[in-house]
Amino acid sequence: MSDARQPILSIRNLKVHFSVRQGVTWPWQASKTLKAVDGVSLDLYAGETLGVVGESGCGKSTLARAVLNLIPATSGSIVWMGKEMSGASSADWLEARKDIQMIFQDPLASLNPRMTVAQIIAEPLKTHYPHISDSDVMAQVKAIMVRVGLREQQINRYPHEFSGGQCQRIGIARALIMRPKLIICDEPVSALDVSIQAQIVNLLKELQREMGLALIFIAHDLAVVKHISDRILVMYLGHEMELAKKAALYLQPSHPYTQALLSAIPIPDPEREKNKVIQILQGDLPSPINPPSGCVFRTRCPKALDQCSKDVPQLRQLTEQTQAACLLA
């Protein structure tokens, strides 16, 4: 998509492959390649939210971790704030992570049970800015706790003393203490009750407006993604299927996989819900170790042609707001 602004994050043809062995193997037997992410390209702009959706195992979380170099990319380009990060040193990545933070899926498991809330939230600040005095650190910790909906009196408690929603607020506070430019949210509300999900999503939107944050929001729930995202990337088996503005994707999805996903969203109208047609995908998600030839979605696509088994579709511009990787789009 064309945009006069400069993106803060640019990814080009990013691949993350793993060498794996299945079952009982001998040392001289060749390992197989699992293609978790296979050629993803995108741009992210300041203040924008990019939603990333797809079935379990499609590569969403691997993509997020590769952006932070928590998992090394096999090939491709990652440009952060105009600087090429592929092959960057540990010191360069440490500097970049001041501005890129992550919120994880399981709010309790992502917090150290032996540390108090104050220690958990202050840890990034003390790591990157060790010269800051303890009194200044505590002042910032208390301020960010109040901003995310926690109380100062809870500062010396431990994670097990909080609910799931409160633990996720601690995780958000920990990410925000560095005043980052980008926060990667890896399914941050999937383990929470519906009412708490809405509170956390609304909190993230408020913080984004206040601080000018860019967000990469990974989720399974397309209704949640619709509520928070500006653009949405649909992934399948490590590949990009569709990348579009929110309104365009939900009103007129171009890729058959996107159409199937959207048809499964519940409609809060009993009559419309009863009469809607759900596009049920046949079969299971193929193994990323042995993906189908051509279009990886063709084995489950209701519109697949013979040509789909031969040609690998590339993400191409269909309209000003939509890109799709489909021969029929």
pLDDT digits (tens, 9 = 90+) for 76-118: 999 999 999 988 999 999 999 999 999 998 888 889 999 999 9
Residue 212: is it exposed, middle or buried by C-beta count within 10 angstroms (0-12/13-18/19+)?
exposed
Domain boundaries of the chain, sorted by first residue: 113-175
- Which tokens go with 161? 């003393």
Element (H, E) at 53: strand 49-53
129 three-state secondary structure: coil
| Residue 1 pLDDT exceeds 50 | no
Please give the residue that has the higher pLDDT: either 192 or 139. 139
The closest of 95, 250, 113 to 181, measured between CA atoms, is: 95
Q: Are strands 182-186 and 214-218 parallel, antiparallel or unpaired?
A: parallel
The pLDDT value given to residue 2: 45
The pLDDT value given to residue 275: 75
In tens, the pLDDT along 300-309 reads 998 888 999 9
Neighbours of 225 (CB within 10 A): 24
